[in-house]
Chains A and B, each alone.
Chain A
């Protein structure tokens, strides 16, 4: 059990936790700024970016795919802004126009191009392949100290660790600007905290997190993790600092519990095959949100002043 656990389950769980935390951290600000669906839009448009990158380079190497997805995200954000301004359309509808169109274009490109030789399809983009990110060299716990075995770790692990680190750094460095800009953009502008560039920086960081996590775990987890843990955390506290703490806790809980339930749950119920880990992690995060919405101490918001 121990050996196969390190080999088959340790790295997927770690990658899941890292991806979930990397998304939940900026998600806190998205939820508070009522921009939750930006994450949804960005993770949809990653598909055409990846397909174009594949068509241009002919490989599924991580570098071009990440660049392609990030480029698509930037194009999408620009298009949304353009359509919103030119057409005087509400942001939600502009977003709906852009991300569905780009996703449709991605699907069409994918169907039209010859991708039969490589593992690239829409299902993969949606569900990810968390279960396949195993560590073959990790035959026992002792492998954690063996440099040869460590070098064979899935590259997603290191990449997501870096992204999470970047998220933490961004949040810490721009903490004041982010918080003030989130709660009172007008005041932020008046004291020179530059809510505009900060907001744009936040969207860029969201895109980075979405693209990096998307590569490892698929777009469902990305969307769920941008929203569910921060939303659950919001039911627990009125303060932004503790809210982020709660959200990271919930994200970790969802990743670990979801993976374990997906991998071992069916076996406990007498089945023989595991179910989708990405789907299960999203489901667990939803259950957590449901519980928080039912019984969270701050579910109805701060004490309202008599209006």
Chain B
């Protein structure tokens, strides 16, 4: 993908349709690496196999095996789960590729949007991000009252069910 392509960058969720060359599947080329083809094939094989097993169970159930009605319901659910997992992996890889500006995390994948101004292609509201907060150094606290209060608060945090009257310090 040329980095300065004047394509429709505002289409974040329809990145597959706003490729570098409109009207082609260039933006989905990263889904056509050998590893991804293997995943697509595995997904299709599993879904077809599971649906076939479900159909087999329907025939068994029709032949009089009551328990097979349950299995006939289970196999399509498994097939749907396979599709769901496949779709989640595709979405995850696309998000990772979009997050890595310029350099994709996986060398087999091309980033979905390699332009440096990826901030424009993002929606204004993003998913919340968990950040590991580094505990502040305790020697930075000069105020002894503040230190005592912090100690009290960390004790409360460490003992969620405790009442303030139980504070030993």
Partners in one complex: no
